Every structure is written in structure tokens, then in C-alpha cells.
Amino acid sequence: MLLKNTYNELIKILAKPRSYIGFIALTVLIGVILLAMKADGESFISFVTASFEQTLSFNGLILNGNLIAFIILQMLIIHVPLLVALVTGDLVSGEAAMGTLRMMGTKPISRNSFLLSKFLAGAIYTFFLTVWLAFLSLIIGQYMFGTGDLIVLNSDGLVIIPENDIMWRYGLAFCLAYLSLLSIATMSICFSVFSDNSIGPIVSTMAVIILFTIIGSLDVSTFDYIQPFLITTHMASWRSLFEIPVPYDAITDSIIILLIHIIGFTLLALWRFNKKDINT
Amino acid sequence: MKYIFIIIIGLFSGAFYAQDSAQDLLNKVVEKTSLVNDYSASVLIKPDVPMIKSLPVKAKIYFKKKDKFKVVSKSIAILPKQGFTDVNIFLSNPKNYMVVEAGTKMINNTNARLLTVIANESSSEIILAKLYVHPVHHVILESEITTRSSGTVKVNYQYSTQLSYGLPSQIKFTVDVKEFKMPKSFSTNPHKSSTSKKKQRKTGTIVLTITNYIVNKGVSDSIFQK
Amino acid sequence: MSEIVVSVKNLKKSFKDFKALKDVSFSVYKNDVFGFLGPNGAGKSTSLRCMLSLIDSDDGQIEIFGKSLRKNRFDVLSNIGSIIEKPDFYKYLSAFKNLEIMARISGRQVSKSEIEDIIHFVGLKGREYSKFKTYSHGMKQRLGIAQALMHNPDLIILDEPTTGLDPQGIVDIRELILKLSKEQGKTVILSSHQLSEIEMIANRMVIINKGKSIIEGDVNELLNSSQMMVKFSCEEPERFCDVMSKEFSNISEFNVTASEIEFEINREEISEINAFMVNQKIKISGIEHKRKLEDYFIKMIQNED
């Protein structure tokens, strides 16, 4: 019944116009960035290397598809989670608002199966959105700009990763990115269980992301204790894959925290959904 | 008496014969490098600069008289801004500078002579150059170049197969690096807290190991076009 | 007596401080068309939602097909088709796709041809691939019935199925319900706030008000009982009452207004009283009578208004 209803959920997601907003938005957004980089990418590079250019010169193909993909992936922090929440935040509350939750609630499917099928469908949707992001940023980026070493600027300085050492990092980075998007999807579905209208869970998810991102970016020692547990802190953990050496312990910690969030939100949603009186 | 006089004359002659003047020595260095019309070579670049993590990079370098120089690399190669051909260009015209001998220094079992070259023009990019020159082979073993825009660059040279052309087999640059500041707009490392700040080194090194020189065989101008 | 299909005992449900159900009990037998009657806000929908596990009751027992709903949810719901309030489907999907989605989780195998058959049965053939949002109210109701029937359940629960329909639509639904019961042997629970609707279709019924069962039984017995509420209009209501008290001592309670007297009597006594009053030269300008239960139900609705 779980798989059958997951199939149902995917049909519903595919039929909703809203589901395509994410894909279209990504295409337009990434397209704009690619064109902008094609037109004036060199000045962006100067921004990256500005601190060093007084004494050093950087030679070689800096502006390449690998760098473009990295820049685009940076958008994960705020923008793509919104596109995910736009669909997943509506999965339960949208049905409550539409009245179909009442219809489906009378069917011989357990509430756990019903809700888990929504989580599964949300996960599949998020997966395809991530794949699309990867395709546009990496494949199209490499097609337009070629490949080469990747120069990355982080708070420790510049890291230059050789071309032959990049693709496996991107593979893992997109996996981590998917995990972080999945945690957002799970959070929004959980919010959706608590609401009977479409907009509330989506806005709440965005508010949480924005608030946690702000707290995470404040360089204040007071927040040092909270930051390691914030979901948004670990949404950026894919960046660690572009360090030399790769801090696998820290990445493992991030994966664990994200998984805890995913499991926690799922359990909370299941608990609430089983107790919920369907009055809509 | 006669023998003493001959000995004294001989000593003076020997002294004059053994030591060129500072300018003469520098001229010999310049003469040697001017034998090179063009060259290409393979280079392995190993940077060790604070706040930059990079693995060694292979590249090709091309040179054509008098000031065409190009590093060709698909990989990103970090090189110092100053210290390549700019020194030779500066030294090629004696009117640009004044040279003074300022002592000696032991470098790799050689008593290198220190020539201090001071720019005559106040607008010159190179303000001061300290050159440690091999007294016999007339090549630069070590240099300290102070420039207007890039501060001071210290360079060590080693020679092997292309000693006759004065082309080094290894160049080690030591550059001053200021405290590099990161733009705030970049997201913080999720695994570092605000309290973890390391003290940064003040200098960095870039070592170039140069092999497979092809000298005076012709280098196309198209290589130097962007 | 045929077997009990639905047994609801002492059902209770509160929403925060509001007691929606205080004590609802009734039984439904096989092949019944069972009327679930009550004014708006009586607790009909809440009771039905409890029966369909949309709501968890606070107390009470619900057994369907002899099984506890709580413990055998899958088995029980697999054999029930229902419409609670208005039928809502996925607006952006066609009717056919909506039914396919419902069929997949109905607990029984429903083939595409069976879905096509049911669409034809409810009169939507030709419109099955139109998006649900293009449907009229009547068509939506038909689709609701289609999803309730397509997996061939033994029990059908319909919550005010004729609401918003035109007269022809209402007749169609009534005929369909009778057909389901008589020809297909299904048990139907039909909730309504209109006694006349129940009277036309149901064979048994329960009336609930303010979350409590009031009366349950055979429709004919309850509505055709000889007890009537009669209202006489006359110019001398006090004299009327005097005469009534002396001559008809079995009647002791009167509701008297300026020109009307209302009381409960047997049907057979109406003409007798009328003739007697005429003899007494008490002018009767009008007689209204309702069945006692009907009168009671109307008063319930009026109080609710």
C-alpha cells in the first residue's frame, strides 16, 4: 500500500503546475548566471583572487565549468530549499485545504503508510530537482566553459583542486546537497501536517531557513553553542568536500546531524498525523 | 731585490686579473643571458603560500627576446608577480641603474659576490636589486628584488645543464604575503567557530623546477598572444 | 432479524471544550437503507467521521461487519464506500485519474474496465477525462458516488448526498440508493437533516440531536404512529380548552396562543373533536396536524435556528 500510494503521490506531484516552478526557476536562474559569467566572468575571478594579486599571479583556465558549478551550488543555501518547500510544504496541508485528505482518510490505508508515501514522493521530487541542478550547473557549465582546476575561496583561504581530483568531489557534494535538501523537504512536510492551509508550511519553512542562516552567519561567540545543531549550518557541509585535505570526520558529523533532523521531523509528523482529527 | 719586485708585480697583476669591477661582473651576467634568443621548457610549480592550498602543477614556459614570457598551463599555476624576466630587462640597459659591490656571501659552497643595483629613475618599478653572483660562472645565485607594487621578492637559483646560458634548473621564490583578508560575503566554514583563528605566516615560497629546455630553436609569436 | 452490520454504542467525542457527541448509539442491519437524521450541528457528520476513522472517538464502541473498527481498520474500510460532506477530488486531475488514485488504495483490485463501468453507471461517460475542476456540482456528486462504489463495498455511507442538487438530481440519487439496496443487496447509511428525504428512502432511522441519540426504529412505525400533534384555530381558545378538559380527559396538556390550541391526540380522535366543537358552537377556522415525530423534528430545527 505504501508503494501504491507513493505512485499516487508522484502522479499528483507531476500533475500540479507548481511542481514545475522549481525546475523552470532553476533553469532560468542558472541560465542567467551562465550567461553573466560568459559575459563578465573575469571580473568575478578578480574578486576571488583580489586579496592575493598584489604579490601573486594566477595562470591557467580559472573560469571553467567546475568553478561555475561551484558558484551555482552556493545558491543551495537559500534558493533551492525554497523551491523544494514550495512543493513538499503543500503535500499534506494542500490536501487538507482541498478536502481530499478527508476522502483519502476513509480509505483502508494506514496513516503511517499514507504519510510515509508523501515523504517518499517528496524525496523523489527533491532527488530529481537535485539531479537537474547538477546537470545544469556541472554538465552545461562544463560544456560552455570547459573544464579545469577548481579554485575555491573559503574562510581559510584559497584552495586549488586539480581537474582530475574534482568529479568525485562533485559526486559526493551533490549527494550531500541532496541530503540537506531532503532535510528541508522533511521539515516542510512536518510543518504541513500541523496546518490546514497551503501557504503556512511553506512560509514557515522559509522563515526557519532564513533565521537559522542569519544565526549561523553571525560571527558571535554566543551562538557557537547553537550553530553546530542548526540544520542550515550543515546544509553547507558539501563545501567541505572542496578542501585539502577533506575533513571526513566533520562531514560525517554533518551527515549524522542531517539524518537526525530527517528522522526527527518524520517521527514528529507521524505522531501528529496519527493523532490528528480530519475535520476538513 | 729583483725577485721581490717581480713577486710584488705578479701579486698586483693577479689581483687585477682575478676581480672584475661590479659593473663588469654584471655585464658578464647580462651577456650570458643575452645569448638566449628564445627558449621553451617544462616546469613543475610547487607553491607553499599561506592561505593557499595547491598541489604541484606542471606547465610549459616560453621566452622570446626581449620581453616575451608566457606560462602555459591548463591547471591553475600560481606564480609571483615579479622576479622573472623583469630583472633581466632592467639589467639589460646600464643607464637604468647604478651598481655597487657590497660584499660576499657563501651560497652552496660558492663565495658569491653581492652586487647592489639601485634604479636611477624614480619611476622605475624595480627600486633595488641585491644580486649574489657566481664569480666564475657569472650567473645569479640569489637575488632580493624590491619593487614598487609587489614588495620584496627573494629568489634562489640553481643551475645544471643550461649553465652556459645562465638558465636555472630550479628557482625558489620567497614572497612577502600580507594578512590575506577573506570577503565577508562567502559563507563561513561550517566546521570552524569564530574562536578558531590561526596565526598566519608572513612569507610563502614557490619552487619552480625547470627541465627539458629547448634553447634558441625558435618560438612562435602566436604562443604569446592571448 | 437480519445480521447487524454496524453497531455504534455510547459514542462520545469532544473538541476542546465542546462536546460534539455525548452519547450516540444505533444499529444498522444488513440491506437497511438507514436514515441518520438530525438538525445541523446535531453530530451527524462527527458520528460518521468516527465510523470512518477520520476522527478518533473519546469513548464508545464501533463495530462494523462484526469487527472492531479500531483493531481491524484495513478490513473494515476495504468494505465501505463513503462520501462525507461534499465529494472533493484533485482539481488538476481528470475524473478517471482521480478514480484510479482512489482505486489503488481501496484495498481491493479495481481494474480500468471496472472504473469505466462505474463512470458509465453514474452517468459521467464522455466526461471522464475532463479535469475535475470543470465539473458541475451534480457531476461532482456523481463522481463521489462512483468512488464510493467502484470497489464494490457492502456498506455505503452517504452524508447528505442530495445537498445542492437540482430536483432531477435528487430523484436520481434516491433511485440509485434504492437500487443499491434492493438490487445489489448493499447496506446504505444516509444522513440528512430533511425528514421527508429519509421518509422516502429509508426503512430504518435514528434521530440525533445535540450529540445524543433521541429515537431509533423503523421509519414507518415512527412516522406513521397514530399519535399526532394537532393545532386547532378558533376564536374562543379558552372555551375550547374547557370543553376539551371536560369531555376528553385523556388530553391534559395544551399549548394555547391567541387563536390556536395545540395538543397531542390519536389520529382517529381528530374528526370526533371537530364534530364535538361544532356541536358546542365553537367555530373552528382551521385544523393542522403533523405526525408527532415530524413535529418534534421541526421544533428541533426551529430551536437550532
Tell whether C93 and C62 lie within a shared domain: yes
Q: Tell whether the model's pLDDT for residue A201 goes beyond 90.
A: yes
Q: What is the pLDDT of residues C239-296, one digit of tens each?
A: 888 888 888 877 777 888 888 888 888 878 888 888 888 888 888 888 887 776 677 6
Note whether C148 and C202 are same-domain residues: yes
Residues C42-67 have a mean pLDDT of: 92
Mutate to test the interface with C, among A6, A107, A112 (most CBs of C within 10 A): A107
Contacts of A60 in chain B (CB under 8 A): 57, 59, 73-77
pLDDT, mean over chain C:
87
A-B Cβ pairs (cutoff 8 Å, strict)? 141
| Predicted pLDDT at A45 | 77
Write out the three cell numbers for A38. 560568459
Q: How confident is the model at residue C225 (pLDDT cuts 50, 70, 90)?
A: low
pLDDT in tens, C132-159: 999 998 889 889 989 999 888 999 999 9
**Minimal C-alpha gap between A218 and chain B (Å):** 9
> Residues C118, C88: one domain?
yes
Please indicate, yes or no, whether residues C238 and C106 belong to a single structural domain of this protein. no
Q: The domain that contains C247 carries what CATH number? A: 3.30.70.980
Q: What is the pLDDT of residue B188?
A: 39
Q: Do C285 and C237 belong together in one domain?
A: yes
Tell me the mean pLDDT in the region B60-79. 86
Q: Which residue has the cell 479495481?
A: C110
CB atoms near residue A183 (< 10 Å): 26
Q: Residue A153 has which C-alpha cell? A: 575561496
Q: Residue B34: is its pLDDT beyond 50?
A: yes
pLDDT value of residue B193: 44
> What pLDDT score does B214 carry?
94
Single-letter residue type at C238: E
Angle at B45 between CA B135 and CA A46, to 5 degrees: 115
Instruction: Give the C-alpha separation, A195 to A136, whole Å.
Output: 34
Chain A residues in contact with B191 (beta carbon < 8 A): 237, 240, 247, 250, 253-254
- CA-based nearest residue to C86, from C27, C45, C37: C45
Distances in whole angstroms, Cα of residue C253 to Cα of each of A221, A240, C18, C224, C229 = 84, 89, 35, 22, 11
The top-scoring range by mean pLDDT among A82-86, A218-222, C121-125, C218-222 is A82-86
pLDDT at C98 over 90: yes
Residues C147 and C256 in one domain: no
Same domain, C165 and C32: yes
Is a pLDDT exceeding 60 seen at residue C87? yes
Q: How far apart are CA C208 and CA C192, in angstroms?
A: 11
Q: What percent of chain B has pLDDT over 70?
A: 79
Of C78, C84, C104, the CB nearest to A102: C84
- Which domain-ending residue is among C184, C218, C252? C218
What is the pLDDT at residue C231?
A: 87
Residue B180 has pLDDT above 80, yes or no: no
Q: Give the CATH number for residue C172.
A: 3.40.50.300
> In the listed set C218, C250, C276, which residue is the last one of a domain according to the structure?
C218
What is the identity of the amino acid at A216?
A: G
Please give the pLDDT value at position A76.
Answer: 63
Report which DSSP code applies to A224.
G
Q: How many CA atoms lie within 13 A of A232 on its CB side?
A: 26
Those residues with Cβ within 8 angstroms of residue A166's Cβ, 6 or more apart along the chain or in another chain: A66, A147, A149, A150
Whether residues B182 and A219 touch (CB distance < 8 A) is answered with no
Q: Which residue segment(s) compose the domain that C35 sits in?
A: 4-218
pLDDT of residue C215: 85
Q: Are residues C213 and C288 in the same domain?
A: no
Structural domain spans, chain B? 21-179+199-212
The predicted pLDDT at position B195 comes to 41
Q: Are residues C117 and C184 in the same domain?
A: yes
pLDDT at res. A189: 96
Q: B21-179+199-212 maps to which CATH number?
A: 2.50.20.10
SS (H, E, C) B80-94: ECCCCHHHHHHHCCH
Of C178, C195, C218, the position where a domain reaches its end is C218
Q: Say whether A243 and B180 touch across the interface (CB within 8 A).
A: no
Asked if A11 lies within 8 A of C93 by C-beta distance, the reply is yes
Claim to verify: residue C211 and residue C233 sit in the same structural domain: no
Q: A255 falls in which pLDDT band (50, 70, 90)?
A: very high
Residues C257 and C164 reside in one and the same domain: no
d(C-alpha C211, C-alpha C62), whole Å: 16
Q: Mean pLDDT, to the nearest integer, of C167-184? A: 86
- What is the number of structural domains in chain C? 2
Whether the pLDDT of residue A95 is over 80: the answer is yes
Contacting A with CB below 8 Å, chain C residues are: 15, 49, 52-56, 73-78, 80, 82, 84-93, 97, 101-102, 104-107, 147
User: Average pLDDT over chain A, rounded to whole?
Assistant: 90
